[in-house]
Amino acid sequence: MSVSSPESSACVPIELGERSYEIRIGPGLLDLASTWQGLPRAATALIVTNDRVGPLYLERLRTQLQPHFGRIDAVVLPDGEQHKSASSLDAVIDHLLASASDRKTVLFALGGGVIGDLAGFAAAIYMRGVPFVQVPTTLLAQVDSSVGGKTAINHPRGKNMVGAFYQPIRVVADLDTLDTLPPRELSAGLAEIIKYGPIADAAFLDWIEHNLDALLDRDKATLAYAVKRSCEIKAWVVGQDERESGLRAILNFGHTFGHAIETGLGYGAWLHGEAVGCGMVLASELSARLGLMPASFVDRMQRLIERARLPVLAPALGLDRYLELMQVDKKNEDGEIRFVVIEGLGKAVMRTASKTLIAETLAAHLDPSPMAVQQTDH
Amino acid sequence: MSVSSPESSACVPIELGERSYEIRIGPGLLDLASTWQGLPRAATALIVTNDRVGPLYLERLRTQLQPHFGRIDAVVLPDGEQHKSASSLDAVIDHLLASASDRKTVLFALGGGVIGDLAGFAAAIYMRGVPFVQVPTTLLAQVDSSVGGKTAINHPRGKNMVGAFYQPIRVVADLDTLDTLPPRELSAGLAEIIKYGPIADAAFLDWIEHNLDALLDRDKATLAYAVKRSCEIKAWVVGQDERESGLRAILNFGHTFGHAIETGLGYGAWLHGEAVGCGMVLASELSARLGLMPASFVDRMQRLIERARLPVLAPALGLDRYLELMQVDKKNEDGEIRFVVIEGLGKAVMRTASKTLIAETLAAHLDPSPMAVQQTDH
């Protein structure tokens, strides 16, 4: 199969009534004057970024925004999930107030998911809401944070515990920013792209299998289609369930096992996308053991995830620890652990599973290495 | 004119699509089982109140909620505007997390505007939004905070600088809770009720004039109609402008002068409603001086506001200080001070005014007492 779209640029309209916006996808968008036209005019703008992305792109973004705003400030936070915190949020709010930013001020989030979630939440609550533009610079943020309007900060007691549903007015996914992405983070982004195949679009799964090498080579046209199709599928799911009451849960395919692995190893040992990659292997195995999919589907998913340079063996945390970690998942009801499983290619459903079935599922993909828990270099 | 409605209970439906809710108004609602039926079921509920209102009503509310929730906690904050702060918000969020409250937890705000704004904001951001019930116990909160979905906390740099638009799922305005309200706070609430006449409903202004004594006597049927009609008018205005871009500004009649007085005297010297009462006299005077209303309208407003036991003379802050204070109003554009003025009974418009005109307006209602600035006992 050839690449479905030879275009290296794309635009995904997100239809949400008066909160509708566009996701612009393509190489070179950051330095293109037209990318920044049509935004609301304001006296001030604030760019929120981190100390890894800022040195690469902050001044280039500032140059492009110069004609549109009287004053453009920046808040540069330290890089890392631990800075998605109340104190970082305070720093952004304090800066807005100190610079006398009014209700028309436009916030720009330049960075990955941490910056997007944090700056988006600041935009949601400053003066009860100011306009907000996402400029995601990781593959994960481009496919995952661009759609859905989830913003949040972490709390010492839990991730994403304080936040808001708040939509950006535009998303600019410049594919050139992926050139500087470390290989592990590219693979982590691919995990979320792979996810959209089995849960919603069998043809997209075929397409990913045929184009994975080009994605790993960061070919722009191939990336453009992968980001576009992922955003379209997510928009379709979220459009039917904006506030996360039902269908939207299928976006968590691979995440129940994945979150357990992330927490069990300690945050930072595996990237979120790596844990989701391994979690999808386990969730596929569970789908097969529930009789919903043939064993060949598990092999297919495992092969693809491995080719994407993602881990496919579950760390040996012990069954009880896995059960304990999955017990606290937000999707659970009445104390039963609920999983997103595949019921025919392109269709996901929620199912509970017995302790025995979970044990068998884990055993089928367990890392035999006694050092698995410590292993972070894969 | 007789009281338009002999009923002591009323219900105002607020139509906002899937965010629609009801305002229930009447005496004895707190202790009525039916008041609390039909709320979403949840394992936990949290009542946020203060140390003045809590001792009066907390246990009565808890008793009524007992059948509907497995666990009912309470956070009792110190009374006062200075506690509408980030640290009070943190206390509420920390309590929710410590008690493992999930996304179905229902928050109850039992108190005046400070409690409603703070608890509403906590509900808006905890896990990206949990259901929230307003139980306003001041006349001001019953007519003002019940409609509009504004929630916020203060920041050291300004009032209501951080917040969200977030709708309650129900408002319960128990008129019996007004029996314990200090007389000054009753009058402060009347200021906001009076406001709805000149800006939107000439007949309601007539009604208030004929029923002011009954309102001051806290007659339940009269209060019920005043609260109901105020909520209806506010709902009509807000319904046309939920995010505060245009028409909604007319709700600020009397507030431009009022905020200047509040800030100029130092917060807490005059109650917000007292400053708005005096501000309405000044805004009426300005309406007359702009040629929009006859001088008799100014006399009429001044008489009514005085009868409501609200101040009608502007404290002698000095013209320059007034101008400076009004310069920072959020309604201003391009450095010109904008006022809500009356253009025919029941119709408000926005107008700018020259420095000379503002000076003449203030001079016409200036408190001659040199002690005016210090005077708080009126």
Cα–Cα separations (whole angstroms), residue A162 to A348, B97, B200: 28, 10, 39
Mean pLDDT of B334-359: 91
H helices of chain B, in order, are 54-65, 86-98, 113-125, 139-144, 183-200, 202-216, 220-239, 255-265, 272-289, 295-307, 319-327, 355-363
Of B129, B150, B164, the CB nearest to A125: B164
Q: So what's the pLDDT on residue B377?
A: 45
Asked whether residue A196 carries a pLDDT value surpassing 80, the answer given is yes
Neighbouring C-alpha atoms within 13 Å toward the C-beta of A212: 21
B291 secondary structure, DSSP code: T
Q: Do B161 and A102 touch (CB under 8 A)?
A: no
Of A102, A150, A164, the CB nearest to B125: A164
Minimum mean pLDDT range among A21-25, A245-249, B149-153: A245-249
Helix axes A113-125, B113-125, angle to 10 degrees: 160
Of B94, B126, B162, the CB nearest to A125: B162
Mean pLDDT of A179-203: 97
For chain B, domain boundaries:
10-180, 183-363
Write down the architecture of domain B10-180 according to CATH.
3-Layer(aba) Sandwich (3.40)
Asked whether residue A30 carries a pLDDT value surpassing 50, the answer given is yes
Per-residue pLDDT band for A331 (boundaries 50, 70, 90) equals low
Of B90, B93, B163, the CB nearest to A125: B163
Neighbours of B56 (CB within 10 A): 14
Q: So what's the pLDDT on residue A337?
A: 86
Q: So what's the pLDDT on residue A238?
A: 87
For every residue of A15-61, DSSP letters joined together read -BTBT-EEEEEETTGGG-GGGGTTSPPEEEEEEEEETTTHHHHHHHH
Beta bridge partners of A342: A348
Residue A103 · residue A148 · CB < 8 Å? no
Asked whether residue B76 carries a pLDDT value surpassing 80, the answer given is yes
Mean pLDDT of B145-167: 91
Contacts of A26 (CB under 8 A, 6+ apart): A8, A9, A10, A173, A174, A175, A220, A224
B339 touching A (Cβ < 8 Å)? no
Minimum mean pLDDT range among A6-15, A34-43, B83-92, B173-182: A6-15
Q: Which of B22, B244, B306, B360 is catalytic?
A: B244
Per-residue pLDDT band for B374 (boundaries 50, 70, 90) equals very low
Asked whether residue A378 carries a pLDDT value surpassing 50, the answer given is no
Q: So what's the pLDDT on residue A242?
A: 60
In tens, the pLDDT along A220-252 reads 999 999 999 999 999 999 888 766 567 888 999
A108 secondary structure, DSSP code: E
pLDDT-above-70 percentage for chain A? 93
Q: With left for phi above 0 and alpha for psi between -120 and 50, is residue A241 left, alpha or beta?
A: beta
Q: Which of B24, B50, B192, B220 is catalytic?
A: B192
Cα distance between residue A198 and residue A344, in whole Å:
8
Residue B282 · residue B300 · CB < 8 Å? no
A137 annotated as ligand-binding:
yes
Best mutation target, B90, B101, B128, to test chain A (most A CBs within 10 A)? B128
Asked whether residue B3 carries a pLDDT value surpassing 50, the answer given is no
Cα–Cα separations (whole angstroms), residue A335 to A6, A244, A249, A324, A349: 48, 20, 17, 11, 19
* Length of chain A counted residue by residue: 378
Instruction: Provide the residue type at A195 as one letter.
Output: K
ipTM field: 0.88
Residue B329 · residue B310 · CB < 8 Å? no
Asked whether residue A6 carries a pLDDT value surpassing 90, the answer given is no
Q: Do B163 and A128 touch (CB under 8 A)?
A: yes
In tens, the pLDDT along A276-319 reads 999 999 999 999 999 999 999 999 999 999 999 999 999 999 99
B3 touching A (Cβ < 8 Å)? no
Q: So what's the pLDDT on residue B11?
A: 94
The mean of the pLDDT values for chain B is 92
Q: Do A128 and B165 touch (CB under 8 A)?
A: yes
Measured between CA atoms, the residue of chain A closest to residue B87 is A86
Q: With left for phi above 0 and alpha for psi between -120 and 50, is residue B148 left, alpha or beta?
A: left
A41 touching B (Cβ < 8 Å)? no
Name the minimum distance, in Å, from the CA of A150 to any CA of chain B: 8
Contacts of A15 (CB under 8 A, 6+ apart): A235, A239
In tens, the pLDDT along B190-245 reads 999 999 999 999 999 999 999 999 999 999 999 999 999 999 999 999 888 766 56
In tens, the pLDDT along B249-292 reads 899 999 999 999 998 998 779 999 999 999 999 999 999 999 99
Cα distance between residue B230 and residue B192, in whole Å:
8
Q: Is B244 known to be catalytic?
A: yes
Q: Which fold has domain A10-179?
A: Rossmann fold (3.40.50)
Q: So what's the pLDDT on residue B1?
A: 38
Q: Is B340 helix (H, G, I), strand (E, B) or coil?
A: strand
Write down the architecture of domain B183-363 according to CATH.
Up-down Bundle (1.20)
Q: Is B228 known to be catalytic?
A: no
Q: Is B108 helix (H, G, I), strand (E, B) or coil?
A: strand
Minimum mean pLDDT range among A143-147, A180-184, B42-46: A143-147
Cα–Cα separations (whole angstroms), residue B319 to B271, B290, B359: 22, 19, 6
Q: So what's the pLDDT on residue A370?
A: 61
Beta bridge partners of A208: none
Per-residue pLDDT band for B370 (boundaries 50, 70, 90) equals low
Q: So what's the pLDDT on residue B301?
A: 98
Per-residue pLDDT band for B119 (boundaries 50, 70, 90) equals very high
Task: Name the residue with tokens 């009912």.
Answer: B72
Asked whether residue B110 carries a pLDDT value surpassing 80, the answer given is yes
In tens, the pLDDT along B168-191 reads 999 999 999 999 999 999 999 999
Q: Is B272 known to be catalytic?
A: yes
Q: So what's the pLDDT on residue A159?
A: 83
Q: So what's the pLDDT on residue B263?
A: 87
A355 touching B (Cβ < 8 Å)? no
Q: So what's the pLDDT on residue B378?
A: 43
* CATH topology agreement for domains A10-179 and A183-363: no
When comparing pLDDT for A368 and B140, which is higher? B140
A113 annotated as ligand-binding:
yes
| Six token digits for residue B42 | 């949840």
Q: So what's the pLDDT on residue B245?
A: 60
B78 secondary structure, DSSP code: P
Q: So what's the pLDDT on residue B376?
A: 46
| Six token digits for residue A289 | 């053991």
Contacts of A90 (CB under 8 A, 6+ apart): B86
Q: Do A161 and B103 touch (CB under 8 A)?
A: no
Name the minimum distance, in Å, from the CA of A173 to any CA of chain B: 25
Instruction: Provide the residue type at A137 as one letter.
Output: T
Measured between CA atoms, the residue of chain A closest to residue B164 is A128
Asked whether residue B375 carries a pLDDT value surpassing 50, the answer given is no
Backbone angles phi, psi at A181, to 5 degrees: -75, 130
Mean pLDDT of A343-356: 94
Cα distance between residue A347 and residue A359, in whole Å:
24
When comparing pLDDT for B100 and A291, which is higher? A291
